[in-house]
Structure 1
Amino acid sequence: MTKAKTPVDRRETPEATAPAKVQAEAKSSHDFVMFRETLESIVVAFVLAFLFRTFEAEAFVIPTGSMSPSLQGQHKDVNCNECGHRFRTTASVEGDETDKAKANERQLEAQLDAGQRELSAARSSGHQRRAADIQRQLDYLTNELTRVRQHIKNIEVVGGMCPMCRNLMPMRPDLPKNVAEDFSGEEIELQPSYPGDRILVNKYGVDFSEPERWDVVVFKFPGDGNMNYIKRLVGLPGEEIRIYQGDIFVKPIDAAESEYQISRRPAEKVAAMLELIHDSDYESATLYNAGWPLRWAATTPDGWQVDAKVDGKNVVQRFSIDQSASDPLAWLRYRHITPNEGNWEYARRLAKDGSDKTMLEEAEKAGISRGEWDARLRANEIPKLITDFNPYNASLQRYEAEGRGWQLGANSMHQGTEWVGDLAIDATVEVEEARGQLMLDLVEAGNHFRATFNLADGKVELTAVDARTGEALDFKATGQTSVNAAGTYELRFANVDDQLLLWIDGELVDLGDTTYDPDKLLPTGRKGMIPWASANADEDQGDLAPAGVGALDAKLTVTRLALLRDIYYIAIKAGTDSRAMVDFESTVPMDELFAQPDRWGVFAGRRKRDFKVEEGQLFVLGDNSPASKDCRLWKEAENGAEPGGPYLDRNLLIGKAVAVFWPHSWGTYPFSEKLPILKAIPGWPAFGDMRKVR
C-alpha cells in the first residue's frame, strides 16, 4: 500500500523519495488516510472536552489557506521530489466541494439502484410504456452520475509548485504514463490531503478586554452563524485603514490625509509572517547539472570563493573569504533567477538521456537552428523582481493539467503578481578570525539598507545608501552584539514596515529606534518607491540583486544563505475594483514585467484603498492576501443583508487564536510495520509543528 511519507529533510530519510506502489492501491491508501483523520478528530474532540470543559476555550480546524503561510487550511504536505524542500499546497477544494460531490454521487447511485428494480418489475409485469419511461429516467441519471464522477476527478489536486526550485511536482499516480516518464522515470507517489491546522481559541479574553491589532482572531462569518472564519485583526474601532504598497496605514476617522501612519508590527509578528523565497541548502542538482545558474554569486573579482558540489539531489555550497587589509570590499549577491517549465523539461531530459543530442535533432527537424535553440533555452536565465508568490496557491487541478495537454505548470497568476520590497536575509556565518567587517545588505526601491558588523568588538551599525548615486542617506542606528569572536552565528536582518530588525542566534538585538519615514529619508519619497536597477549590467543592479553579504579584511565562511519576504496586502475593494487580485493596471505579461526595468513605471500607480472602521466594528485581513475573502471583499449590502459592508461586527468575535495544538499526523507509529494493529490507532501529531499563533 502506498504510504504517506513524513516530509522531512531528504538527507535524514533517503528512502523518502522511494517510488509508490501500483496505482490500484492509491484510492485505498487515500481512503485509509481519511479514515485515520476522522478517527483522530473524534479522539481530539473527546480529549478537548475533558481538558477544557471548565475553561473558556474552543478547538477550531482551519478550513482554507487564507492565513497561509502562518496557518494552514486543508493541504498537501510534501518534500519536493527534485530538491527535498518541504512545502505545502492547497487542497481545500478536495474538502467541502468533493464531499458535496460525493454525497451527490451516493444519492444518484441509490436512485439508479431503485430505478433498476422498478425497471425489472415493470418489464416482468409487461408494462412496456412504464418500462420505457423508467429507462429514459435511468439514462438521465446515468449521464448525471458520469458527470458528477468526472467533476470529482477534475477537481483533484494533481500537482504543486515548489517555492525553492519551481518544480511542478506531480502528486497522484493515476496520471498519464508520459507524465511519469517526463519526471526522470520515477513512479509518482500519492500525496494525501491533510486537514487544516487544529488551533485552540481563547474565548475568555474577548469578553473582558479588547483584542489588539495583529492578533489572529476567530469569528462567526456575517450572514452565516454556522461558519467560523479566521483572519488577522488589522483595524480597530474609530480608525481609517489604508492598504497601500502592500502595507497597512492607520489614522483616526476624519483626520487629515497627512495623519496616515504606517502600522508597524512587533518583531515576533514579523518573524512569524515572513515567507521563504530561497534557501541555498535546496539548490536542485538536476538544474545545476543542466547549466542553470546558482542564485548566489560573487560580484567582486578575487573576492569570495564559491565551492559548489553536487550531493544527491542538491548542490552543497560554501562561500569563503580570506582577505588582507589592502583588499577591497567583496560582495556576494542574490539574483532571483527562477526556472520555468521549459527549463525543467530540458534539465530532466538531459539527466535522463545523458546529452542534448536528441533534443537538438528534434529542434532541427522543427526548423530551429542551434543558435536559436540556445537562445530560447537561456532566455529565462535573467534576474527578476521578488514577487508575492506563495506555493500554497500554486496547486494544479486535474482539469487544468488536462487543458494544458498534461504539460505540468502552474497558472501564471498563481506565481506572484506583486513586487515585494520588504525582505529579510538569513546567514549562517563561521567567523574564523575576529577581525574586519561583515555586512548584510537589503535593497528596496533602489536603496541599500545595511547592517555592518565589526568582528573585533561586536559593534553593529545600520545605515542606508542611495543606489542611484552611491551617497549615504541620513539614517544610522548602532548597538552591541555577541559577534566579537571566532565561532558560528545565525544572523537575520530584515527591512519590514519601514523599520530595520536584527536577530542573532534567534534573539532580537536592541538597536534603539530603527524606524524611518520614506518621505523624509528617501529622495523619491514614499510615492516614488518603485524598483530600480542600473541600465549598465556592470553597475549597481538594485532591486534585481536585492540581497547581499559583504566582507572587508575578514576571514570567514558562510554555510547557508536564505532570503525571505514579508506578506503583501493587495489593495482591492468590493464594488470599486475588478475581482482580479492585482494592485495596479498593466497589460504587460508578468514574466516580462518583473524582468524589464523599463516597465517598472507601472508600480508608481499602485492603488490606495481606504476603509472606515466605526465604533463596534473591526477590520480583518488574511495573511494570504491573493486567496483571502476578507473585509476588503465584503460588499455594502442592501435591505439589511449581511455582511453589511467591509467590516466585522464586534459581536461576532469568538476569540483569539492561541496555539496550533494538534498538527496533522503522518499516519504511522514507530514499529507499525512489525505491529500492524498500530496502523488503525489514531496517529500522534507532528510535534515539531506545534506552536504559538503569532
Structure 2
Amino acid sequence: MAQNLFSIQKNKEEWKDILAQLDEKKIPKAIKTAFQEEGYSLAGNTKIEVKHKGQSWLFVEEDRHYLLDYYPRKEKAWVYGIAGKPAVGAILENVEALLVALIFALLIRHFTLEAFVIPTGSMAPTLLGIHAQVTCPNCHYSFSVGNPSFEPGQSSRTLDLVCPNCLLGSQKSLFQKQIRRKDLRGGDKILVNKFYYLWKKPKRWDVIVFLSPQKHHKNFIKRLVGLPGETLQIFHGDLFRKNPKTGKMEILRKPDSVQKHLWMNVYNSAYLEEKKNRIIWETPKEEVEEKLLKETACTECDQVVYQDVRFQWQGNQLNADCTKKKGVLKFHRPIYNIYGYNRALRGGNLVGDIRCTFEGKFSSQGRIVVDLSRPLKRFQVKMDFKAKKIILYEGAWKEEKILEKPFPVSAEKWHHYDIAHVDGQIWLKVDGIEKIRYLYPSPLTVEDEDQQRFWLKFRFFQSQVNLRKLHIYRDIHYTDSLSNFGVNEPVTLKQDEYFALGDNSPNSQDSRDWGPVPAKNLLGRAFIVFWPAIPYFDWKVRWIR
C-alpha cells in the first residue's frame, strides 16, 4: 500500500497538519483515509504512494510544500489532479503546450536567439571550453584547466600545471596533477542575439560569434577589437590604432565597464602559501636601514632577498609600525601573462598593466606613496593624510608633479583602495569613488623585453600600517609571436571588415592568424552564459562583458 522512499522523520503533530491541508484540497475521502492509515504507520516518510481504484496516488512533502499527484497505472506520463478518474485531457493539454513551446523555440532560434556551446579555451577565463577544476596544493587557489585531450581508452593524464596565484609550477617548482576523464566539465553554454546587429552597429569590445573566414567555415567566438576602416597594431600586449587626424598610432583604452571583467588574478593574500622561502614581498636593501632587514634565500629565483622585519602577516592582514622610520614593501615576483587554463604550455611574456586593491588603515599624520612603474614610464601616487591631499608624480622619484587634488579621507578608518596603471592611464579609487585619473600619451615605441617588467612598491612614512585583502590583477596581454596580421606591422581594415581577438591570447587562433572578419560573416552578439556543464549543477546565469 505504501513505499518508504525517504528517511526524514516526522512526528504525529506534523502529520495532523498535513491531513488538515488535505481536507482543504477536497481530496476524495477514500484517499484521505488511506493516507491517514498509512501516515500513522509510516510517519517517517516524505513520499507515500497509495493505490486506489487502479490508480496510484503519490503524496509529496518537499521544502515545506505539500503536493498531491496521481497518475493512471496504464499511462507513463505524470498527471496533476485531484479527481478520481484518469485525466487524459490534461495529458493532451501538456502535449499541446510542449509542441507550441518547441515551435516557438525554433522560431526564436532561426530569427533572434541561438544557443552555442564553447568547445575550446580561446576566450578563457571569460568563457570556458571543456575543462577540469583543480586546486593548488600550495596556496589552495582554485582554477580551471583546459581539456587535456585524452587518447582513446585513456582514463587519466598527469599534467604539468602552473598556479596563476602563487606561480607554483613555474621556474624551479613542480606542480603535477592527475586529471581523470570523469573530472572534465563541458564548455559554457551561451545565448547569441542574432538580431542585434541588424539594427545596431557592432561595438568595440563586444563578444561576437561569426563564421571563420577560413575555408572550413566553423563558428568562432572572439572579442571584437577593430572596426571598419581602422589601422591597428599590437605592441607589447596593448592595442594601438592610427589616429586619422594626426596619423599617429595611439593606445586603445578599454572602458571601465569592460575592463572590470577582464582583470586576471596575479596574487590574492587570502590564499596563504604553505611552502616557505617562496618570497612574495621584499624590501629594497638601499631604501631601509640595514638593522631592520633580514636576509632570505628565495627558492624560486635563487637570490638573496631582503625583508623588513617590522612587516608581519596575521592571516590575511599585514601590520607594521612605520611611525619612526620609513617602511618599504615591493612585490617580488615578476608578472607574466600566465593562464592556469593553459597549463605549463603557453605564456611567459612580462605584463606591464596591473591593478592593486586592498583595505587599509593608517595614521592620521601618515603619508603613503604607491609606485606603479615601468622603467621608461614611472608614476608615484602620494596620499598625504595629514595635509589631506593627493599628488601624482611622474619620474623616478617625484621628478614632476602632474596633478594635485584634495583628499579628505579618514586614515584611521578602514577604506577600500583601488589603484591601477593600465592602457596608458593611472587611476585611484577609494571606496569605489574615483579620486584621480590621468591619461598620458602612450606612443608605439621600441622597448626591449626587460623594459616591460612592472613593479609595485609601497612606501610608508610616519604611519602605522594595516593592510588586508591585498589583491593584484593583470590586464589581457595580447601576444605577438608567430602571427601574420597586426603584429609586426599595422593592418588596415576595409570598410566591411572587423578585427577579432581571443581573451586567452597565447592560446587563441584569431585575426592575428587568418586576418580580418568580413561583416557578412557576423552571426550575432554573445550576451549571456546560461548553463555551465552538468552533472555539477554549479551554474550561475551571468552576462557576457
**TM-score with structure 2 setting the length:** 0.68
2:142 counterpart residue number:
86
Q: Secondary structure of the residue that 1:633 maps to in structure 2? A: helix
- Does structure 2 conserve the Cα–Cα contact (< 8 Å) formed by 1:159 and 1:172? no
Deviations 1:506-543 (A, max 9, x none): x251535x111245xxxxx94347535xxxxxxxxx94
Deviation at 1:162?
1.6
State whether structure 2 residue 462 is matched by structure 1 residue 553: yes
State whether structure 2 residue 349 is matched by structure 1 residue 418: yes
State whether structure 2 residue 430 is matched by structure 1 residue 504: yes
Change (3 A) 1:173 1:279: closer
1:693 counterpart residue number:
544
Please give the residue correspondences for 1:470-485 in structure 2 after superposition, counting only pairs within 5 Å: 470=397, 472-473=399-400, 475-476=402-403, 478=405, 480=407, 483-485=409-411
- Does structure 2 conserve the Cα–Cα contact (< 8 Å) formed by 1:276 and 1:564? yes
Change (3 A) 1:575 1:488: closer
Aligned amino acid, residue 294 of structure 1: I
Tell me, in whole angstroms, the C-alpha distance in 1 between the residues paired with 2:476 and 2:426: 16
Change (3 A) 1:160 1:609: same
Deviation at 1:628?
0.6
Tell me, in whole angstroms, the C-alpha distance in 1 between the residues paired with 2:534 and 2:391: 45
Change (3 A) 1:651 1:225: farther
Change (3 A) 1:83 1:471: closer
Aligned amino acid, residue 326 of structure 2: L
- Does structure 2 conserve the Cα–Cα contact (< 8 Å) formed by 1:323 and 1:555? yes
Deviation at 1:620?
0.5
Change (3 A) 1:224 1:306: same
2:270 counterpart residue number:
281
2:190 counterpart residue number:
199
Please give the residue correspondences for 1:59-74 in structure 2 after superposition, counting only pairs within 5 Å: 59-74=115-130
2:508 counterpart residue number:
628
- Does structure 2 conserve the Cα–Cα contact (< 8 Å) formed by 1:218 and 1:231? yes
Change (3 A) 1:576 1:447: closer
Tell me, in whole angstroms, the C-alpha distance in 1 between the residues paired with 2:479 and 2:103: 40
Q: Secondary structure of the residue that 2:480 maps to in structure 1? A: coil
Change (3 A) 1:173 1:53: closer
Q: Give the one of 323, 328, 336 matched to 1:331.
A: 328
Q: Give the one of 262, 269, 279 matched to 2:258.
A: 269
1:37 counterpart residue number:
none
Change (3 A) 1:575 1:550: closer
Q: Secondary structure of the residue that 1:686 maps to in structure 2? A: coil
Aligned amino acid, residue 517 of structure 1: P
Deviation at 1:231?
0.7
Deviations 1:143-199 (A, max 9, x none): xxxxx54xx568x4645322223145544378xxxxxxxxxxxxxxx8711122222
Change (3 A) 1:169 1:245: closer
- Does structure 1 conserve the Cα–Cα contact (< 8 Å) formed by 2:351 and 2:453? no
Deviation at 1:209?
1.4
Tell me, in whole angstroms, the C-alpha distance in 1 between the residues paired with 2:415 and 2:223: 33
Deviation at 1:439?
2.9
- Does structure 1 conserve the Cα–Cα contact (< 8 Å) formed by 2:210 and 2:523? yes
Deviations 1:449-484 (A, max 9, x none): 222223357643332222xxx451463364657x32
Tell me, in whole angstroms, the C-alpha distance in 2 between the residues paired with 1:487 and 1:666: 46
Deviation at 1:237?
0.5
Q: Give the one of 412, 418, 436 matched to 1:486.
A: 412
Q: Give the one of 365, 371, 383 matched to 1:441.
A: 371
Tell me, in whole angstroms, the C-alpha distance in 2 between the residues paired with 1:251 and 1:323: 48
Aligned amino acid, residue 386 of structure 1: I
- Does structure 2 conserve the Cα–Cα contact (< 8 Å) formed by 1:459 and 1:480? yes
Deviation at 1:53?
6.5
Deviation at 1:633?
0.6
2:472 counterpart residue number:
563
Deviations 1:559-582 (A, max 9, x none): 2323222111122565689xxxxx
Structure 1 or 2: more helix by fraction: 1
Change (3 A) 1:322 1:191: farther
1:318 counterpart residue number:
317
Change (3 A) 1:306 1:665: farther
Tell me, in whole angstroms, the C-alpha distance in 2 between the residues paired with 1:547 and 1:616: 43
- Does structure 1 conserve the Cα–Cα contact (< 8 Å) formed by 2:484 and 2:512? no
Tell me, in whole angstroms, the C-alpha distance in 1 between the residues paired with 2:116 and 2:389: 46
Deviation at 1:613?
0.7
Deviations 1:214-257 (A, max 9, x none): 1111112224676321111111101111111111111268x87x
Change (3 A) 1:267 1:194: same
- Does structure 2 conserve the Cα–Cα contact (< 8 Å) formed by 1:164 and 1:283? no
Tell me, in whole angstroms, the C-alpha distance in 2 between the residues paired with 1:335 and 1:392: 24
Deviation at 1:48?
10
Q: Secondary structure of the residue that 1:161 maps to in structure 2? A: coil
Tell me, in whole angstroms, the C-alpha distance in 1 between the residues paired with 2:179 and 2:490: 48
Deviation at 1:616?
0.8
Change (3 A) 1:238 1:53: closer
- Does structure 1 conserve the Cα–Cα contact (< 8 Å) formed by 2:132 and 2:179? no
2:163 counterpart residue number:
162
Aligned amino acid, residue 418 of structure 2: R
Deviations 1:332-383 (A, max 9, x none): 11101xxxxxxxxxxxxxxxxxxxxxxxxxxxxxxxxxxxxxxxxxxxxxxx
Tell me, in whole angstroms, the C-alpha distance in 1 between the residues paired with 2:185 and 2:513: 28
Change (3 A) 1:317 1:252: closer
Deviation at 1:75?
1.2
1:305 counterpart residue number:
310
Q: Give the one of 229, 234, 240 matched to 1:238.
A: 229
Cα root mean square deviation, aligned: 3.4
Deviation at 1:60?
2.1
Q: Give the one of 432, 435, 441 matched to 1:517.
A: 441
Aligned amino acid, residue 115 of structure 2: A
- Does structure 2 conserve the Cα–Cα contact (< 8 Å) formed by 1:215 and 1:232? yes
Change (3 A) 1:516 1:661: same
Q: Secondary structure of the residue that 2:336 maps to in structure 1? A: coil
- Does structure 1 conserve the Cα–Cα contact (< 8 Å) formed by 2:485 and 2:512? no
State whether structure 2 residue 386 is matched by structure 1 residue 461: no
Q: Secondary structure of the residue that 1:273 maps to in structure 2? A: coil
Change (3 A) 1:478 1:662: farther
Tell me, in whole angstroms, the C-alpha distance in 2 between the residues paired with 1:284 and 1:293: 9
Q: How many residues align?
A: 420
Aligned amino acid, residue 164 of structure 2: P
Q: Give the one of 361, 380, 387 matched to 2:336.
A: 387
Tell me, in whole angstroms, the C-alpha distance in 1 between the residues paired with 2:108 and 2:407: 45
Deviation at 1:64?
1.1
**Structure 1: runs of 5 or more not aligned:** 1-44, 102-147, 175-189, 310-315, 337-384, 395-409, 520-524, 533-541, 578-606, 635-645, 668-682
**TM-score with structure 1 setting the length:** 0.55
Deviations 1:35-56 (A, max 9, x none): xxxxxxxxxx989949967982
Tell me, in whole angstroms, the C-alpha distance in 2 between the residues paired with 1:47 and 1:661: 21
Q: Secondary structure of the residue that 1:281 maps to in structure 2? A: coil
1:613 counterpart residue number:
493
Change (3 A) 1:195 1:461: farther
Tell me, in whole angstroms, the C-alpha distance in 2 between the residues paired with 1:443 and 1:304: 25
Change (3 A) 1:438 1:664: farther
